[in-house]
Amino acid sequence: MIVLIIAASAGLCVAAVVGLVATMVRGDEASVAEDRLSTLTDMGRRDLVGKADDVLMLRNSTEGTTNFLEDWMARKFNMNVALEQADIKLPLSKFGLMCVGLAGTGAAAGLFAPMPYLTAPLAGVSLFFLPFLWVLMKRKERINKFNAQLPEALEMLSRSLRAGHSLGAGFGLISDEMQDPLAREFGRCFDEQNLGVPLEKSIEAMTLRIPNLDLRFFATAVSLQRQTGGDLAEILDKIGRLVRARYRLAGQIQALTGEGRLSGIVLLALPPGLFIMMLVLNKEYVMKLFTDPMGQWMLGGAIVMQLLGALVIKKIIDIKV
């Protein structure tokens, strides 16, 4: 029984590393367009990130880093911003302790399990990055939900402006009438401007909490309209129609690439599943992968090929809209 638990844990660790590497390698597909939009408003995105304490007002950013682990996570992986974008109310210090605790548990399990000592650091590193994968999944889920709500929010804001309300009052209406996460973000902008924060900075801060290209269009439109004038309601209607068209196109692409995504899931899950099945049917045959030097090299090569295969499949099915 303990061997099955160890095998399942090893498969989970490999899957976590594969997902983390694939997500990190994908990068920010809209960074070029966002930089151009930021240039139009003379508010560079990098400047905003550098002034997170004044503009972004993130819970985790204002706490500051207190040790090497927190500083490394904030500097290399920008985890303080990722936690805020995922709406995880967890300080960066506690998140780091959770990662270290999982890594220590994995390393201890690898040392005491009837497996080569080489698996101990591998299990420790894999479990260390498992919370990173969880944060990225929560972040992606929240951003996707926000994207689906954005067209309706823009249309509601446009109708509010035509009815004679101010832009700030429209933000308050959206926070009251719509659901989270969009209602929370627009309500946060509404509260910030009531406390004296300029509306442009509040909207720019929201674009950092929700990295969405369509939201950047909205922020640029609001900033330019307040500087040069114009019919903001008509602009919001056009942006709303554009967002809906992009969302429909993304759904069509999601449907067309469904076969490739399913093939990737099957191909990536097949080796760990076959390993567990062979472990049940013929344990001595499978354990040679851990006891024999050649088997250890083959196991390492299989893990590397799993990672490469995940990256290739991700590249094939990742179609930018």
Helix residue ranges per DSSP H, the chain: 2-26, 31-40, 45-50, 59-63, 68-72, 79-85, 92-112, 119-128, 130-162, 167-177, 182-194, 199-209, 213-228, 232-256, 258-281, 283-291, 293-317
* Cα–Cα distance, 25 to 17 (Å, whole number): 12
Other beta carbons within 10 Å of 119: 22
Residues in the chain: 321
Can the peptide bond before residue 181 be classed as cis, meaning omega within 30 degrees of 0? Answer: yes
Phi, psi of 117 (to 5 degrees): -65, -20
Residue 276, pLDDT score: 83
Query: HSE of 67 in the Cβ direction (CA atoms, 13 Å)?
Result: 7
**225 token code pair:** 């309209």
pLDDT in tens, the chain (321 residues): 444 444 445 555 555 544 544 444 444 444 445 555 454 444 444 444 444 444 444 444 444 445 677 777 777 777 778 888 888 887 887 888 888 888 888 777 777 766 666 667 777 787 888 888 888 888 888 888 888 888 888 888 888 888 888 888 888 888 888 888 888 888 888 888 888 888 888 888 888 888 888 888 888 888 888 788 777 888 888 888 888 888 788 888 888 888 888 888 888 888 888 888 888 888 888 888 878 888 888 888 888 888 888 888 888 877 776
The residues spanned by each domain of the chain are 1-36+262-321, 41-90+129-256
Which pLDDT belongs to residue 12?
Answer: 52
Q: Distance (Å, rounded) from C-alpha 239 to C-alpha 245?
A: 10
pLDDT of residue 63: 47
d(CA 262, CA 245): 26
